[in-house]
Structure 1
Amino acid sequence: MEESKTMKVITARISSGLYEALEDYARQKESTKSEIINKVLKQYLLAQSGSEHSSQHDNDFDDIDSYYFKPIYALNDDMRRILIMLEQLAEHMTSDKDEQEQHKYAIEVLEKGYSSEYEEVLPHIVPELPTTITDEAQDIMSMFQDLLISYENLSADEKTSIPDINKTMLHCQGFDRQDPHEIRVSEYLKLLRQDERWQLPYDDMLKHSDNGNSHRKQLNQYRNMLKKHKSVRHRKSDYSSHLSRDEIMHITTL
């Protein structure tokens, strides 16, 4: 691993068994112990960061694969037995020769504990997305839906009086699919759209972005707008009422 000037050296005490396991794993992956420790720490901290993951973390966690996929380092014996039985069942359930060979290969890997091959025979999973993030994503969609509907209910003169830059901000501009955090939000919202939730703001987003890809980080901007939107809605006694022209201007002015 190429070390930069920002790399720091730390000293940690670990058990001899853990140290031997680390050496073995590094040898299997043809890597160094430092590389393994660095990767595992990144993945752990990302999983713990939740909604606190913001622009200040981006330089630290810039490897999208390390954020997006959770590697398989080890399985306990009971889990291996369960997986072997599932693979055996799947093998007997299919008549396709290629699929049977794949299941046989997976059974051998699991039976003999070839941990370096686990990722080849088991499905990838990603870190859980905390409810704080999914709730925020829905709040963003709710805000844009409110803006779009409220704007359509303005008079023609009120619409004309809103500057073009503010009209642009009525539309969600998508999410940066190269950013490890924003891509998770993007895919979550895509799932909701398949369930026919947030159709209006989501479909509008597709029209005002590269099919949902903003190609630049947008979440901080949306969060600033969301903070003002919640403040405006908190002051209104009737949430079902539309936003006024001045309220729309306030929310969409950065």
Structure 2
Amino acid sequence: MATVSIRMPDDMKEALERLATEKSMTVSGLISERINDMLGHREEIREDTPYTLTTAERYLLMRVEELSALVKPEDKAYIERDVEAFQEGYTAEYSRIFSKMHIELSRQDCEFVWDVLDMFRDLIISYDNLEASDKETIEESQCHYQGFDHNDNRECAMERYVKYLAKDDCWEFTVEDSKKFSDRGNSHCQMVPMYQGMLSALNEVKRRRRMANRSYSSNCQPFDKKEIQFILSARRYDSPFRRG
């Protein structure tokens, strides 16, 4: 979410703070609400927002919100508004409250992200092991992770998961790759089709290795030049952040 700074006289700021307190809102929330009114924006109800909650669920959520107010006293007025909504059972407010939560990323999509990151880790290692003359035939940037599309809800969730996984030593390379080969993880174009093509080619490379030597583990040796080229040839299109 973008942040915008606004300069205003002290008396105007004090008036806004008083009004926000009267409405049990934060100043930021009050200003955002008025801007949305001017722009004619209406709140969209998420499909996964609960239309009703049991009394026990409301009680637990209310208590959690009360604890949040202790941790974040600066948001106390805003949090108390949510507490009241749960306590009174104002179901129309649930969409606003649960909008803080991101959509779930399916198990299948999580495993797809693992496969993509494993693939790029292997490609990076394999490229680094090539002779200098072989490296000249391959565009290095294509061997690196290039993010996901933040304009697509599913891909944006995948990129958030990548950032989460980057805390693991297995995939720490994604942090630097996101800065160098994408707009901090935003590819600005859909990448899933391209990654799917590359993974299919990768699986074909592993199949060929197994056929060549059934006792040979396909994961114990870096890819050679031809194997890297074969995997990269499966890219459906190039990222706009392609770099030589």
TM-score (norm 1): 0.62
Instruction: String of CA shifts for 1:27-61, please: whole Å, max 9, x gaps.
Output: xxxxxxxxxxx977xx4xxxxxxxxxxxxxxxxxx
Tell me the amino acid that sits aligned with residue 242 of structure 1: P
Structure 1 unaligned blocks of 5 or more? 1-37, 44-69
Distance 1:202-1:222 versus aligned 2 partners, 3 A rule: farther
Structure 2 unaligned blocks of 5 or more? 1-43, 210-215, 235-244
Instruction: String of CA shifts for 1:173-206, please: whole Å, max 9, x gaps.
Output: 2211101111111110011112333112452243
The corresponding residue for 1:53 is none
Distance 1:98-1:218 versus aligned 2 partners, 3 A rule: closer
The corresponding residue for 2:54 is 76
User: Among 162, 171, 185, which residue is 2:144 paired with?
Assistant: 171
Correspondence 1:249 to 2:222: no
CA distance in structure 2 between the aligned counterparts of 1:223 and 1:90, rounded to whole angstroms = 41
The corresponding residue for 1:190 is 163
Partner-residue secondary structure (3-state), 1:194: coil
Identity among equivalent positions (%) equals 29
Correspondence 1:113 to 2:89: yes
User: Among 134, 152, 155, which residue is 1:158 paired with?
Assistant: 134
User: Among 121, 133, 144, which residue is 1:145 paired with?
Assistant: 121
Partner-residue secondary structure (3-state), 1:232: helix
Instruction: String of CA shifts for 1:69-120, please: whole Å, max 9, x gaps.
Output: x4342212221233334455666x5794862x44543343223221122344
The corresponding residue for 2:25 is none
CA distance in structure 2 between the aligned counterparts of 1:155 and 1:124, rounded to whole angstroms = 50
CA distance in structure 2 between the aligned counterparts of 1:194 and 1:172, rounded to whole angstroms = 16
Query: How many angstroms does 1:213 deviate by?
Result: 1.1
Q: Is the 8 A contact 1:171 1:205 kept in 2?
A: no
User: Among 77, 93, 101, which residue is 1:125 paired with?
Assistant: 101
Instruction: String of CA shifts for 1:183-232, please: whole Å, max 9, x gaps.
Output: 11111001111233311245224311111111111110111011111221
Correspondence 1:208 to 2:181: yes
RMSD: 2.9
Distance 1:177-1:153 versus aligned 2 partners, 3 A rule: same
TM-score (norm 2): 0.65
The corresponding residue for 1:10 is none
Partner-residue secondary structure (3-state), 2:144: coil
Aligned residue pairs total 185
The corresponding residue for 1:225 is 198
Q: Is the 8 A contact 1:72 1:118 kept in 2?
A: yes
Tell me the amino acid that sits aligned with residue 247 of structure 1: E
Q: Is the 8 A contact 2:45 2:95 kept in 1?
A: no
Partner-residue secondary structure (3-state), 2:170: coil
Q: Is the 8 A contact 1:141 1:202 kept in 2?
A: no
Instruction: String of CA shifts for 1:100-159, please: whole Å, max 9, x gaps.
Output: x44543343223221122344567323321221111111111111111111111112222
